[in-house]
Amino acid sequence: MPDRTIDLRIWRSIGRPGLRPHFDRFTMPVDPERDTLLDLIERTWAALDRTLVFRHACHHASCGTCAIRVDGRERLPCVTTVADVWNGRSPLTLEPLRNFPVVADLAVDPSGLLARMSALHMPYVRTVEPAVRASSGVTRDGDVGAAERFEDCIECGACVSACPVAGGDPDYLGPAVLAAAERLIEAGDINRAARALDMADTDHGVWECRSIWACSAVCPSGVDPAARIMALRRAVLTQSTQTASTERSSEDAPAGATP
Amino acid sequence: MTAPRPSVLVIGAGSTGAATAHDLALRGCAVVVVERGEIASGTTGRNHGLLHSGARYAVKDAESAVECVVERDILARIAPDLLELNGGLFVALNEDDLAYRERFLDACARCGIPTRELTLAQVRDLEPALSSSCLAAVEVPDGVFDSLHLCLAFLATAESNDATVLPYREVEALVIRASSVEGAIVRDRRTGERVTLEADIVVNATGPWADRIAALAGVDVPVAPTAGVMVAVNGRYVDRVINRMAPPADGDIVLPQRRTVVIGTSSWSVADPDAIAIPAEHVALMLERGRALVPRLQEGQTRAVFAAARPLVGRVGGAEAGRELSRTFQCFDHAADGVDGFVTIIGGKTTTARAMAEKVSDVVCAKLGVTAACTTRMVPLRSYRTAYDA
């Protein structure tokens, strides 16, 4: 049995009439190496306060629903052990993601992000690429046919929360959506890629990014949105250069040459 | 003037409740779903994510196996964008496993589960990280999914058919008049407010908590919460579901989820599904057994350890327990217990949630006089991305 205890400061907010946003403090036993933050949050609800609202489902970083801020940094509490983030003394501060409407306490409403992913027609599954297998140190010979796998982005919203630009402009498409746009171009689906370029090349799109890279720092799933946004800029510029040169060559065409 | 639509209150938004809401909404019922927590925050969310071909159960539990293979094909039709349909391998690592092969192939054939025997060269080609001790492998149509997203798709579709989904509402009491359940008193976790939700029928789809809800109506349901541990390891070492070619046992499945693999699972009875203490030795066993199938797992860091309680049909402490209990499901019309307007569904698995929903919806509709037939085999599910829309 663990003989250590930890204090959690948990953000409590709207939902209860007359309740001002504040922090509640909970003290509980902890085994820092084994307990995840989600274990502690669930235990807080089960044993200490049945009114605590938080999202969770898969408990292994596959569903993306539990993302919160821990001492100001975006984390998936399901795969963050206490030892990963705790100095052994100070309380840990748990807050909901920024830049989303708060449902209550630690739960936010992801529907805006999901609607933008829908508008992009971002698929949920993709074809396995040999590069990903190689990163696991697994190589194979020959063509074995395409396997499918889920996209890396779990739509958890951590990058949107960490992005200062998203904080200043609610219409900014944000890192997850721009990264998805670049994924579609990389995947080579011509129709989806064309739509992605159109969505990205707008006032609230790829040019609004200020290259802060906070999104990539907090992504729990290895998507690296910032690098993808830079690649997306290149793709947009390449396309507009091609469009411009096509227009120019038609302007340059001699009069009467049009069939 | 048209008669009001018959109303159904579904308790629980795991896979069973979500699929039931979808089925009843399609049949024209006015459906409300209440969930004490978040969608799929109980057993459903924490499952392995294995879309069962049924092969795992073919030898010992043919009924479950047939349910799985039928439902696997239906999900592939109605929710293809939510599934990794890469198939699975049953792998023999020793002589005992090899001796099991004939029984396994025969049983799959009897259950209508397609199988294909692979050469060892083919196996190496498909899954290079698999153990070099592999003596034989059979391919089956297993797959992988994420439970939350499947639930969200069922609920999004139900909502498009006028169902209402109310998370963070915990049922405190059932409204019972003259031996008939006519609704529930639910407490909003966010506001503390209590609301009475009236309904013609209440469906108890609360999985391993089903006995607690049933007790509110003074009836008993035989649910045996049976926990299992899963371990997620960093690195996508396989694309297919890797099963041991042997009777179901602990740690005999390794499957991919995004850039990780998940090893599962174990099986033990728990009294309280809200307080599952994960035994350290189960975690060690998962890693040991998983590495027997895929030795390279030892290179990967453990990313998560989690457990959930299966709502198996049976009794806690009964003569049969754990793996001896069937994975099929059972529906209880509590009119047989003297309480009308109240139906419980337990057992099953997320792969068969649609079939469970069909069965309980048939019972509900018969009680309500609703004649519309089940159409969930054919109706495509809406995108999970619309599930949170107001």
Helix (H, G, I), strand (E, B) or coil at A123: coil
Residue type, A23: F
Please calculate the CA angle A188-A192-A196 and round it to the nearest 5 degrees. 100
**Which residues of chain A make contact with B45, given a CB cutoff of 8 A?**
56-59, 63
Task: Kindly provide the ipTM of the predicted complex, given to two decimals.
Answer: 0.95
> Under an 8 A CB cutoff, do A138 and B385 touch?
no
Residue from the list B41, B84, B192 with its beta carbon closest to the beta carbon of A57 = B41
Determine the distance in angstroms separating the CA of A139 from the nearest CA of chain B, rounded to an integer: 7
Residue from the list A34, A51, A58 with its beta carbon closest to the beta carbon of B192 = A51
Instruction: Check: CB of residue A97 under 8 Å from CB of residue A74.
Output: yes
Per-residue model confidence as pLDDT tens digits over B168-215: 999 999 999 999 999 999 999 988 899 999 999 999 999 999 999 999
Per-residue model confidence as pLDDT tens digits over B295-332: 999 999 999 999 999 999 987 666 555 666 677 899 99
Per-residue model confidence as pLDDT tens digits over A21-48: 999 999 999 999 999 999 999 999 999 9
Domains plus CATH for chain B?
1-49+146-222+314-390 (3.50.50.60), 86-142+225-310 (3.30.9.10)
Give the position of tokens 């400061």.
A9
As a whole-number percent, the residues of chain A with pLDDT over 70 amount to 86
> Under an 8 A CB cutoff, do A118 and B146 touch?
no
According to DSSP, the residues that pair with B254 across neighbouring strands are B242, B263
Helix axes A111-120, A190-200, angle to 10 degrees: 130
Higher-confidence residue: A190 or A92?
Answer: A92
Task: Identify from B36, B186, B278, B388 which residue to disrupt to test chain A contact, counting A C-beta atoms within 10 A and taking the largest count.
Answer: B388
A211 at interface of B, judged by CB pairs closer than 8 A: no
A118 at interface of B, judged by CB pairs closer than 8 A: yes
Helix (H, G, I), strand (E, B) or coil at B260: strand
**Which residues of chain B make contact with A128, given a CB cutoff of 8 A?**
239
**Which residues of chain A make contact with B236, given a CB cutoff of 8 A?**
132-133, 136, 149
Q: Give which of B56, B142, B137, B54 is closest to B97, Cα–Cα.
A: B137
Residues whose CB is less than 8 angstroms from the CB of residue A155 and which lie 6 or more positions away in sequence, other chains included = A64, A110, A113, A114, A117, A176
Residue from the list A61, A138, A148 with its beta carbon closest to the beta carbon of B303 = A61
**Which residues of chain A make contact with B259, given a CB cutoff of 8 A?**
132, 136, 152, 221-222
> Under an 8 A CB cutoff, do A53 and B189 touch?
yes
pLDDT for B2 beyond 80: no
**How many whole angstroms separate alpha carbon B386 and alpha carbon A142?**
40
Structure tokens at A127: 């074809």
**Which residues of chain B make contact with A150, given a CB cutoff of 8 A?**
84, 144, 146, 257-258
Residue type, B388: Y
Residue from the list A17, A103, A149 with its beta carbon closest to the beta carbon of B84 = A149
Per-residue model confidence as pLDDT tens digits over A123-168: 999 888 765 555 555 555 444 568 999 999 999 999 999 999 999 9
Residue from the list A16, A107, A147 with its beta carbon closest to the beta carbon of B192 = A16
**Which residues of chain A make contact with B188, given a CB cutoff of 8 A?**
15
Per-residue model confidence as pLDDT tens digits over B63-91: 999 999 999 999 999 999 999 999 999 99
Per-residue model confidence as pLDDT tens digits over B220-241: 999 999 999 999 999 999 999 9
Give the position of tokens 């820092």.
A32
pLDDT for A77 beyond 60: yes
Mean pLDDT of B271-291: 95
Q: Please tell me the predicted confidence (pLDDT) of residue B323.
A: 66
Distances (CA, A) of B267 to A10, B116, B263, B275, B277: 34, 29, 13, 15, 13
Q: Please tell me the predicted confidence (pLDDT) of residue A258.
A: 43
The whole-angstrom distance between residue B190's C-alpha and the CA centroid of its chain comes to: 28
**Which residues of chain A make contact with B83, given a CB cutoff of 8 A?**
125
User: How do beta strands B302-313 and B223-234 pair?
Assistant: antiparallel
Determine the distance in angstroms separating the CA of B62 from the nearest CA of chain A, rounded to an integer: 29
Q: Give the nearest chain A residue to B261 (CA atoms).
A: A60
pTM of the model: 0.95
Instruction: Check: CB of residue A141 under 8 Å from CB of residue B127.
Output: no
User: How do beta strands B30-34 and B7-11 pair?
Assistant: parallel
Mean pLDDT of A79-84: 97
**Which residues of chain B make contact with A75, given a CB cutoff of 8 A?**
none
Determine the distance in angstroms separating the CA of B228 from the nearest CA of chain A, rounded to an integer: 14
**Which residues of chain B make contact with A123, given a CB cutoff of 8 A?**
81
pLDDT for A169 beyond 80: yes
As a whole-number percent, the residues of chain B with pLDDT over 90 amount to 93
Residue from the list A109, A110, A149 with its beta carbon closest to the beta carbon of B239 = A149
Alpha helices in chain A (DSSP H): 37-43, 82-85, 111-120, 130-135, 158-162, 164-168, 175-187, 190-200, 214-218, 225-252
Determine the distance in angstroms separating the CA of B49 from the nearest CA of chain A, rounded to an integer: 9
Structure tokens at B151: 């639930």
CB pairs under 8 A between A and B: 162
**How many whole angstroms separate alpha carbon B12 and alpha carbon B202?**
11
